[in-house]
């Protein structure tokens, strides 16, 4: 990160296909498809870590399509906002028990993604609203507002879409990095 002081390491623990609440037991390689309850307690065990920045949940929203489309993605997997928030609260409790500060990043725009629908946008907005307003964490990093089109906030701003309307571009990742609070990237905390 450009604003770091060179004394703080940033470790990214992302795995394709993961969700907060559901697991893909049909996939057998490393962390693909594992649910948060399985992954998170294991992955926050990093020597010297003092904080965690959590941004997770978009797959919970976009994956359920019905077994007629994908037998591993039933509609019953679609969570409510309350269920997702409870899943995020599990992360907060687990991180606090490990002695970590907890920051949470908002979920990015998804308009244009192949499974986009109004009900998915509503769910994303409700979860983001909780992330922005909860007092249960040490801070919100509003990645959504940083990369969305201000005139059309359900979609990425020009230059910030990787092309699939779900993943950020390199420019978007650079913009997101600017949102990370100094307390997470500088020695003086």
Q: What is the mean pLDDT of residues 152-175?
A: 97
The domain spanning residue 46 has which CATH number?
3.40.50.1110
Residue 27 lies in a domain: no
Q: What is the mean pLDDT of residues 97-109?
A: 97
Q: Supply the mean pLDDT for the chain.
A: 91
Q: What is the pLDDT of residue 4?
A: 60
Q: What is the mean pLDDT of residues 79-86?
A: 98
147 and 109 Cβ atoms separated by less than 8 Å = yes
C-alpha separations of 29 from 15, 17, 32, 33 in Å: 11, 11, 6, 9
Residue 74 lies in a domain: yes
Q: What is the domain extent for residue 127?
A: 36-184
Residue 23 lies in a domain: no
Q: What is the pLDDT of residue 88?
A: 98
Residue 18 lies in a domain: no
Residue 175 lies in a domain: yes
- Six token digits for residue 36: 């948060």
pLDDT at 27 over 90: no
pLDDT at 82 over 60: yes
Structurally, the chain folds into a number of domains equal to: 1
pLDDT at 115 over 80: yes
Those residues whose C-beta lies under 8 Å from the C-beta of residue 82, and which sit 6 or more positions away, are none
Q: What pLDDT band is residue 136 in, cutting at 50, 70 and 90?
A: very high
Residue 96 lies in a domain: yes
C-alpha separations of 90 from 41, 81, 85, 86, 149 in Å: 10, 14, 9, 6, 31
36 and 20 Cβ atoms separated by less than 8 Å = yes
Residue 1 lies in a domain: no
Residue 29 lies in a domain: no
């Amino acid at each position: 990160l450009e604003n770091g002081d060179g004394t703080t390491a940033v470790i990214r623990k992302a795995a394709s296909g993961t969700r907060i609440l559901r697991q893909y037991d049909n996939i057998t390689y490393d962390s693909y498809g594992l649910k948060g309850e399985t992954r998170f307690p294991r992955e926050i065990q990093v020597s010297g870590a003092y904080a965690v920045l959590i941004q997770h949940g978009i797959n919970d929203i976009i994956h359920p399509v019905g077994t007629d489309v994908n037998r591993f993605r039933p509609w019953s997997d679609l969570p409510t906002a309350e269920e997702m928030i409870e899943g995020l609260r599990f992360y907060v409790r687990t991180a606090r028990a490990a002695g970590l500060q907890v920051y949470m990043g908002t979920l990015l725009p998804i308009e244009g993604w192949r499974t986009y629908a109004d009900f998915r946008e509503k769910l994303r907005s409700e979860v983001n609203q909780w992330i922005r307003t909860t007092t249960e964490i040490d801070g919100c990093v509003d990645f959504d507002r940083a990369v969305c089109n201000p005139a059309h906030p359900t979609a990425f701003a020009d230059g910030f879409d990787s092309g699939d309307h779900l993943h950020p571009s390199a420019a978007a990742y650079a913009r997101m990095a600017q949102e990370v609070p100094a307390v997470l990237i500088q020695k003086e905390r």
